[in-house]
Amino acid sequence: MGWILFKRAVRDLKAGWARYLALSILIIFSLFIVISLMGASVTVMDCTEISDRQLNREDGEFSVFVPLRNDELTKLNDKGVTVERMFYADYAVNETKVLRAFKVRESINKVGLIDGRMPEKDDEAVIERRYSEVNDIKVGSRITLGGIEFTVTGIGAVPDYNNMIKKVSDSVVDSKSFGLVFITSDAYDKLYASGASLSSEEYYYAYILGSQMSEEELKNTLEDIEFKVSDVDDKYFKEYWDRMTGKKDDLLDAVEKLNDGAKELSDGAKELSDGTNEFHDGMHDLKKSVPDLKKGIKSLDDGAAEFEKGIKEYTNGVGKVATGASSLSKGAKTLAKGTKQLNSGAKQFGTGMDAYARTVGSMTKSENPYVAGVAKEMDGSTKQLASGYKQINSGVSGVNSGASSLSKGAGQLYDGIKKLNSIGATLRSGVSSLHKGTTELRKGANKFADGIEKLYDGSAELKNGAKELADGAKEYADGMQEFADETKDFVNEYFDIKSSNLMLFMNHSENPRVGAAADDVQITYTASIIFGVLLVMLFAYVISVFIVHMIDQESAVIGALYSMGVKRRTLTLSYVAVPVIVAFISGVIGTVLAVLTPAGIPAQLQDSLSYYSMPEVTIKVTPFILIYGLVIPPVTAFIVNVLVIRKRLRKTPLALLRNEQKAVRGKDLKIKGLKFISMFRLRQMIRELRAGLTVILGMFMSLLVALMAINTFVYCSRVKDFYVSQTKYEYMYNYKYPTEEIPEGGYEAVAESLRKEIYGYTFDVMMLGITKDNPFFETGDLPDNDTDVVLSSAVAVKYNLKTGDEFTLKDGNGGRLYAFKVAKIIDYSATLAVFMDIDRCRDLFGEDDKYYNVVFSDHALDIDSGRLYSTVTKSDIEKSAGIYVDMMGPMITVMSTASAVIFAVVMYLMVKMMIDRSTFNISLVKIFGFRNREVRKMYLDGNFITVALGALVVIPLCKIIMDYIYPRYLVSNVGVGISPSYPPELFVAIFLVIIGLYLVINFVLTGRLKKINPAVVLKNRE
C-alpha cells in the first residue's frame, strides 16, 4: 500500500507543482543560505582550530616596559612556559597606510603562509593576507618601510592577528590602511634603528603554558619582575621616569613628614595633657588653699586693724614715753648729780673707813686683851665693812658711771623717743593704709577665691579636653602611621607600573584579535541552525495547510479507506509524504547548491575572509551540516505535518465519510449592526482563521529576517553617520610618555582603559577625564563627586545603562573594580567612553594634578612620535566607520529580498488557497447575483484586514524580539554601542511595504476570482 499511496503523493505533487515548486524554491533558497552560512562558519571554526594548532597559537600574551632579561626568560622556561618575543613597531608606508613590523616568529603564532615563502634575506618580507589583498600586493611586489625596500616573498596570516585591529580597543578593521609585515631579525633591528617608526617599539611576548604553571601563576611571576631604569634607553621614557619618580619621592617625603608631624603632634598633645593634668592638680591644691588664704587674709586684715590700733596706742605710748624720757633724762641728770655727791660722800666714807680700819688695826695690837679682843672682833667686821665699802665705792663708782651713762642714755632715749614719736606718726599713717590695703586684699581674696573656683572648673575641662586631644592626637598619629604605610604601599604599588615590568597581560580568550573569526561565525552558526529550522517549519506549516485542505476535500475517501481497515498511521504517512518529499528534495538541492557551488559556502566564506586575516582555508562540510541539510527539512516537515493533520485524521470513519466539519469557527459569534457584506467578510475571516494565522506566521518569520537586515542596516548606517558626526576632534594623541607641558592648541585628557563584560564578551571602556573647556565632548557640567559619571551613548546602549544606574568597570588585569553611577548620558557613539572631570580622574587613578596621557586637538600638533602610543584622526574614524556598511551591504540586500520573497510567497499561497476553498461558495454567491467587486469584498478584503492587523501586531513584536536577539547574539562580539532603534517613519515604511506586497498579490488573485465560472464549479462539485 505504501508505494501505492506514495504514487498518490507524487501525483499530488504534480498536480500542485506550482505551489510546491514555489515552496520548494523557498526551502531551497533558505537551506542554501543556511547551509552556506553553516558551512562557512564550520570552515572558519575548523580552519581556525587547525591553523591555531599548526601555527602554535599563543595561550596569551603580555607586554613589558623593558624587554625581559635572559635569566627572567629562563626562569619562565624552567617552569615549562614557552615564551617568544613579539616585539613590533609601526611604520608608515605612506600618509594613509601603516605596517606593523615583526620579526619572523619561530615557535609561537607562526606565520601561516598562503602564498610564497618566508623571508630569508634582510630585504625580504612576508605581508599579512588582508593588507596584501586590499592593497593588491602580491609575491614579488616591493614595499618601502623607513626608507628600506623589501621584496614580498610571501603572503600569510598569524593566529594572534586574526582580527586585524590596530589597537586592542579598536572595533573596526581597516585593512586598507593597516597590516603586518614579517621580516628577518636583522632587518627588523636595522629598520628600527633607522628611527623611522611612528612610535616606540612595543615589547610584547606570546606564551604557551606548560603543565607546571597556571596562567595566574605566570601573571603573578611577571608582576614580580621589576626592571632597571638603566636598561631603558628611550630618552622620552627617561625624562618621564625622572619626572614621575621624583614625584614619587616627593610624595613619600611628604607622607613621611606628615607622619612625623603627626607623631610630634601626638607627643605634644600628650605633654599638653600631662601639663593640664598637673595644672589641674595645682588648681586643685590652689582651690584647696583658697579658704586658708581667705582666712589668712582675713587674719591679716584683722591683724592690720589691730596693728593699726596698736600703732595708735603705740604712738600714743611713744608720746608718753617721750614725756617720760624727758623726765627720765632730767632725773638721770639729777641722779648723776646725786651720784657725784654720793661718790664724794663715798670717798669721804672711804677715808673714814681707812681711818677706822687703822684704828681697829692698831687696837688689835693693843695689849689690852680686851681691847685687842674687841678690836679683833671689830677687825673682822671692819674688814667686811672695808670690803663692803670697796664694793660700795665700786658700786658708787659704777652708779656714778651708770648715772652718768643713764643720764647720757636718758638724753639719747629722749632724743630717740622724740624721733620715734615722729616716726610713729608716719607709722600710724602707714598702718592705716596697711589696714585699708588688707581690707581690699580681703575683698580681692574673695574674688580671687571665686576666680580660683572657676579656674579650677576650667582646668578640669581643660584637663579632659587635653586628655581627649592627647587621645585624638594618638589616634591621629596611629592613623597617620597607617596612612603613611598605606600611602607608601599605594605609592609604591602605583609607581610600580613604572617599576614592575608588566604592562599588559591577556589570555587568548580575552584578546579580541585572536580567534575573532571563529567567535564571529559561532553566532552565525547558531543563528543559522535556529533560523533554518524555523524557516523549514514555516514552509512545512504552509504545506500542512494545503494538506489539511486536501484532507478536508478527501474526507470521504479517507473515511472509506478507514472503513476498509486502512489504519490511521498509513494514511498519515501518505499525507505527510508530500511535505516530506518536498522538504527532502528541497533540502538536498539546497544543500548541494550550498556545498558545491561557488555561490554557496565559498561566497559566505568571503564574509569572513574579506574581514578577518585567515590562514589557508579549505572548505569543510561536517556530517552535521549534511544531516542538517538532508534530514532536518524532511524530519521537520514530517513532525509539523503530523502534528497538524493528526487531529483531522483522528475523526471516525463515519465522520469522515459524512465529511462532518468541526463546528464552524465563530458560528456562535453574534455580529450585529454590520451590513451583510461586512458581516460576511468577518465570518469569512473567522472561518479562514488558520490560513490567516499562517499568513501572519509567514509575515512574522519573514519580518524577523527582514528586521535582522534592517537592524543591521540601521546599525551600520549609524556607525557610519554617528562616528563621523559625533567625532568633533580632528586628532587624538595617545601618549606613552607625556610631556610636562601640554602641547599648545591641545586639550589634555586622562584616558584609562577599563574593561566590562556583557553577553560573554569583554570590551575596553575608556574612562576619559576631560577638562571643563574641552570643546570636543558635549558633556555639559561634569559631576563634581567621586562616583557620578557621564556616559557616552555607546556605553549606555552596549551595557543597557540609564541615568541613575550604578555599574562597575574593572582594570586591565581585573584586579580592581571601580563603581560608578550614571549621572547623564550624551550622544557619543564613536567610543565606549565614560566621562568625568579630569581632576577627579587623576585622583581616581592616583595621578598627579598635571597628569595627562591624551591630547585632543582640532589640528595637527607637533608631537614627537616617540612619545606616542598612537594617533587617531577623524579621517581614520571616517574610513573605518564606513567599513560596516560596505561589509554588511550584500547581506542586508540578500536578507531583505529573501524576507520579502518569503512573505510574498506565503501570502500568495495562503490567499490563493483561501479562494480555492471558497470557490464553490463564490460560485454560489455569483449565481445569487453578487458582483465581482462585492465578491472581492466578501472573500478577499478580509485578508487585507488580516494582513493589516497582523502587520500592526507583528512589526512591533518582531522588533521587540529582534532588539532582544540582536545585541545578545548578532553583535555581542562587536565593541560598538549603537541602538538599532527605528524612527517612526521606518515602521510606517515597513507597514507600507507589507501592504504593498499584499495589494500586488491581491491584484493577481482578483483576476482568479473573476475567472471562476459558477457553472463549471458546480458541475465539478456534482
Residues that bind other proteins (CB under 8 A): 1-2, 4-5, 7-8, 11-12, 15, 554, 556-557, 559-568, 652-654, 657
CB 923 to other proteins: min, Å:
19
Q: Which is nearer to other proteins, 536 or 561 (CB)?
A: 561
CB 669 to other proteins: min, Å:
21
CA atoms within 13 A on the CB side of 738: 22
**In angstroms, rounded to a whole number, what is the distance separating the alpha carbons of residues 139 and 121?**
15
Among all chains, which residue has been given the C-alpha cell 673707813? 353
- Which residues is 100 bridged to in the sheet? 90, 180
Q: Which is nearer to other proteins, 564 or 663 (CB)?
A: 564
CB 665 to other proteins: min, Å:
21
Q: Which is nearer to other proteins, 11 or 235 (CB)?
A: 11
Q: Which is nearer to other proteins, 429 or 652 (CB)?
A: 652
**In angstroms, rounded to a whole number, what is the distance separating the alpha carbons of residues 1003 and 941?**
11
Q: Which triple of cell numbers denotes residue 546? A: 494545503
CB 3 to other proteins: min, Å:
9
CB 540 to other proteins: min, Å:
21
CB 43 to other proteins: min, Å:
44
Q: Which is nearer to other proteins, 557 or 626 (CB)?
A: 557
Q: Which is nearer to other proteins, 560 or 588 (CB)?
A: 560
Q: Which is nearer to other proteins, 424 or 559 (CB)?
A: 559
CB 404 within 8 A of CB 413: no
CB 131 within 8 A of CB 484: no
CB 80 within 8 A of CB 213: yes
CB 1 to other proteins: min, Å:
4
**In angstroms, rounded to a whole number, what is the distance separating the alpha carbons of residues 674 and 198?**
80
CB 668 to other proteins: min, Å:
16
Q: Which is nearer to other proteins, 329 or 572 (CB)?
A: 572
Q: Which is nearer to other proteins, 617 or 656 (CB)?
A: 656
**In angstroms, rounded to a whole number, what is the distance separating the alpha carbons of residues 825 and 779?**
8
CB 690 to other proteins: min, Å:
23
CB 613 within 8 A of CB 129: yes
Other CB atoms closer than 10 Å to residue 482's CB: what's the count? 11
CB 922 to other proteins: min, Å:
22
**In angstroms, rounded to a whole number, what is the distance separating the alpha carbons of residues 1012 and 1005?**
11
**Three-state secondary structure call for residue 322:** helix
Q: Which is nearer to other proteins, 2 or 380 (CB)?
A: 2
CB 183 within 8 A of CB 111: no
CB 548 to other proteins: min, Å:
17
**In angstroms, rounded to a whole number, what is the distance separating the alpha carbons of residues 318 and 421?**
6
Q: Which is nearer to other proteins, 254 or 556 (CB)?
A: 556
> Burial letters for 381-416: b for 16+ Cβ neighbours within 10 Å, e otherwise?
ebeebbeebeebbeebeebbebbbebbebbbebbeb
**In angstroms, rounded to a whole number, what is the distance separating the alpha carbons of residues 705 and 709?**
6
CA of 358: how far to CAs of 354, 363, 367, 385, 386, in Å?
6, 8, 16, 13, 11
Q: Which is nearer to other proteins, 12 or 174 (CB)?
A: 12
CB 553 to other proteins: min, Å:
9
What type of residue sits at position 156?
G
**In angstroms, rounded to a whole number, what is the distance separating the alpha carbons of residues 38 and 46?**
12
**In angstroms, rounded to a whole number, what is the distance separating the alpha carbons of residues 943 and 682?**
10
CB 510 within 8 A of CB 30: no
CB 996 to other proteins: min, Å:
37
Q: Which candidate, 178, 158, 157, places its Cα nearest to that of 167? A: 178
What type of residue sits at position 602?
P
Other CB atoms closer than 10 Å to residue 319's CB: what's the count? 16
> Burial letters for 785-811: b for 16+ Cβ neighbours within 10 Å, e otherwise?
eeebbbbbbbbbbbbebeeeeebebbe
Q: Which triple of cell numbers denotes residue 236? A: 622620552
Q: Which triple of cell numbers denotes residue 972? A: 555581542
Q: Which candidate, 915, 546, 669, places its Cα nearest to that of 925? A: 915
Q: Which is nearer to other proteins, 257 or 658 (CB)?
A: 658
CB 545 to other proteins: min, Å:
19
- Which residues is 733 bridged to in the sheet? 855, 871
SS3 content of the chain, % helix, strand, coil (to 5): 65, 10, 25
Q: Which is nearer to other proteins, 205 or 562 (CB)?
A: 562
CA atoms within 13 A on the CB side of 587: 26
CB 28 to other proteins: min, Å:
25
Q: Which is nearer to other proteins, 3 or 676 (CB)?
A: 3
Q: Which is nearer to other proteins, 555 or 918 (CB)?
A: 555
Q: Which candidate, 87, 288, 110, 111, places its Cα nearest to that of 203? A: 87
CB 956 to other proteins: min, Å:
44
Q: Which triple of cell numbers denotes residue 1003? A: 491584484
